[in-house]
Structure 1
């Protein structure tokens, strides 16, 4: 067993490129969507939970208290464009395009080409259902950042059941 396998912390895949967390502090490819938390440009206390569904490109953008984004009316708002841009920095353009099932016309994908290729984008009918779990994961991630570094196990991070000895 290697040294890293004995620790309570897992190795994290390094981002494709460094990104600034002030504008988009949380981005993930999960639940069949690109989703994350995007800071408001006008109010420091407001954040938006934005998402784009893979394949169908249905999108949603609302504040952390479920008020709809004023800019997401029939097309991607700036929050979603920022989310796509930061996802490309975090995961790489190829991985984001593959996850979202976006065809960029044979060219090397970029954040702009991925966004532009999602021409069938439309607002998602049940946008508020996706916001709560995403925002909850974001808050949980923030809580882990406040913990002191340790190699001791964290009970909530032990995902696998322990094997029981059979007598």
Structure 2
């Protein structure tokens, strides 16, 4: 059994490149989508929950209180473009392209995908605008992550994490 299998923590994959969290504080590849929370450029108290579905590139963007994004009218808005850019920084362009099923060979001049080439491939497919049903769970996960940041550093177990098997538990 390796050290990480005996540990009560999971390995964390380091970001592909460092990123600034002010514009896109939360980004994830989950539930068959690229999804996350993007800060408003005009109102410090407003955030947008944006997502792009893998394969179909169906997209959605709305505020945290389900008001539709004014820029997402038949095409990707700036929030979605920022989300794609930050996802590339966090996960790497190849992983993002693979997750979204975006074939970028023709769009990237040197064959290496970029945030712009991924966005171009998906935009060329003329993706439909979808509903914002995914916004609530994504925003809820974002708030949960924020709550963990407010905890004081400790080696004590967290009650909600105790469902993880311990190293000494009999299998």
Same fold per superposition (TM over 0.5): yes
User: Could you list the runs of 5+ residues in structure 2 that have no partner in the other structure?
Assistant: none
| Matched residue, 1:82 | 82
TM-score, normalization by structure 2: 0.88
1:117 aligns with 2:114: no
Are the aligned partners of 2:8 and 2:164 in contact in 1 as well (CA < 8 Å)? no
Deviates more, 1:145-154 or 1:39-48: 145-154
Q: CA RMSD in A?
A: 2.0
| Matched residue, 1:25 | 25
> Structure 1 CA distance, aligned partners of 2:169 and 2:43?
52
TM-score, normalization by structure 1: 0.90
> Structure 2 CA distance, aligned partners of 1:147 and 1:96?
31
> Structure 1 CA distance, aligned partners of 2:139 and 2:28?
11
> Structure 1 CA distance, aligned partners of 2:7 and 2:21?
27
Equivalent of 1:135 in 122, 130, 139: 139
> Structure 2 CA distance, aligned partners of 1:56 and 1:8?
38
| Matched residue, 1:65 | 65
**Local SS of the residue matching 1:122:** coil
User: Could you list the runs of 5+ residues in structure 1 that have no partner in the other structure?
Assistant: none
User: What does the per-residue CA deviation read over 1:130-158, in whole Å, with 9 as the maximum and x for residues that have no partner?
Assistant: 00000000000000011122222112123
Deviates more, 1:49-58 or 1:113-122: 113-122
Are the aligned partners of 2:24 and 2:36 in contact in 1 as well (CA < 8 Å)? yes
